[in-house]
């Protein structure tokens, strides 16, 4: 086994990296003047123990531990079982979030059963709708299927900061500057209803609607802090 693989598979090293990433996230949060907009209804539901489905874009994962009011309720994040996704899960657990790892070996039915079980316990579910590997900003039907099965409400959440750069990753991950920054957390419910027996055409229309919703709120957050909104790659 190569030294690189030994390091990559070392629990001690993985936990060390997770703590370093969590420290960066906390530093950004601490040194940024935040606005928190549109959270009234989500806060109310969390306090009542009513679970919801939280949708975000993979590009805005870097502040995801602060998306949900953890002082009012619990949330379980759906991550990838691959190394990058596993690291996201480790980091989010350091903030008190639950996680479920998706893997190619876990059937969608089994994953959905696990997710619905969490919601029956009053735990909200969070998912990056274009993860874990993209395409960038192309929404999957997964949150729609869970909304249809559970009847729970869907909230899109995003953030943006005035100062930061986009990483050279497939999702163009936003990396905020960890000092003297301004930012916004924006939460808005997606109010479409997913019929219990939706046709393929209806599901595709709803998928596009959720995708537009996420792009709209993320562009709004960007404009609020003076950042140029996202554009598809040419």
pLDDT, tens digit, for every residue of 151-187?
999 999 999 999 999 999 999 999 999 999 999 999 9
Task: Please check whether residue 75 is in contact with residue 97, taking contact to mean a CB–CB distance below 8 angstroms.
Answer: yes
Phi, psi torsion values for 188, nearest 5 degrees: -150, 130
Find the angle CA(90)-CA(71)-CA(121) to the nearest 5 degrees.
Answer: 75
| Nearest by Cα to 210 from 145, 133, 151 | 145
Distances in Å between the Cα of 134 and the Cα atoms of 25, 56, 163 are: 23, 13, 25
Q: What is the pLDDT of residue 6?
A: 55
Output the pTM of the full model: 0.93
CA gap 228, 8 in Å, rounded = 36
Q: Which run of H or of E encompasses 78?
A: strand 75-80
158, 57 Cβ separation under 8 angstroms: yes
Query: Can you list the residues of the chain whose pLDDT is less than 70?
Result: 1-9, 84-85, 103-107
Give 3-state DSSP helix, strand, coil % of the chain, rounded to 5: 45, 20, 35
Q: Are strands 164-166 and 174-176 parallel, antiparallel or unpaired?
A: antiparallel
pLDDT of residue 112: 87
Work out the number of other CB atoms within 10 angstroms of the CB of residue 3.
Answer: 7
Q: What is d(CA 91, CA 89) in angstroms, rounded to the nearest whole number?
A: 5
Q: What is the rounded end-to-end Cα distance, in angstroms, of the chain? A: 41
pLDDT at 105: 58
Residue 141, pLDDT score: 95
pLDDT value of residue 49: 97
Give the model's pLDDT for residue 133. Answer: 86
């Amino acid at each position: 086994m190569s030294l690189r693989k030994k390091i990559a598979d070392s629990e001690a090293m993985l936990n060390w990296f997770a703590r370093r990433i969590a420290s960066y996230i906390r530093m950004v949060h601490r040194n940024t003047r935040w606005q928190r907009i549109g959270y009234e209804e989500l806060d109310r539901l969390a306090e009542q123990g009513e679970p919801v489905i939280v949708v975000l874009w993979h590009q805005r994962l870097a502040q995801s531990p602060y998306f949900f009011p953890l002082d009012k309720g619990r949330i379980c994040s759906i991550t990838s079982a691959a190394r990058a996704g596993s690291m996201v899960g480790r980091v989010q657990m350091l903030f008190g979030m639950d996680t479920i790892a998706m893997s190619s070996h876990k059937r969608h039915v089994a994953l959905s059963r696990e997710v619905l079980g969490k919601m029956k316990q009053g735990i909200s579910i969070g998912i990056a709708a274009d993860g874990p590997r993209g395409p960038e900003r192309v929404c999957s039907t997964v949150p729609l299927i869970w909304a249809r099965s559970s009847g729970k409400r869907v909230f899109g959440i995003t953030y943006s900061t005035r100062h930061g750069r986009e990483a050279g990753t497939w999702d163009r991950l936003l990396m905020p500057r960890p000092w003297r920054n301004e930012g916004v957390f924006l939460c808005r419910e997606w109010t479409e209803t997913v019929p219990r027996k939706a046709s393929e055409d209806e599901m595709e229309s709803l998928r596009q609607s959720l995708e537009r919703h996420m792009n709209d709120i993320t562009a709004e957050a960007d404009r609020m802090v003076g950042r140029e909104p996202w554009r598809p790659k040419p």
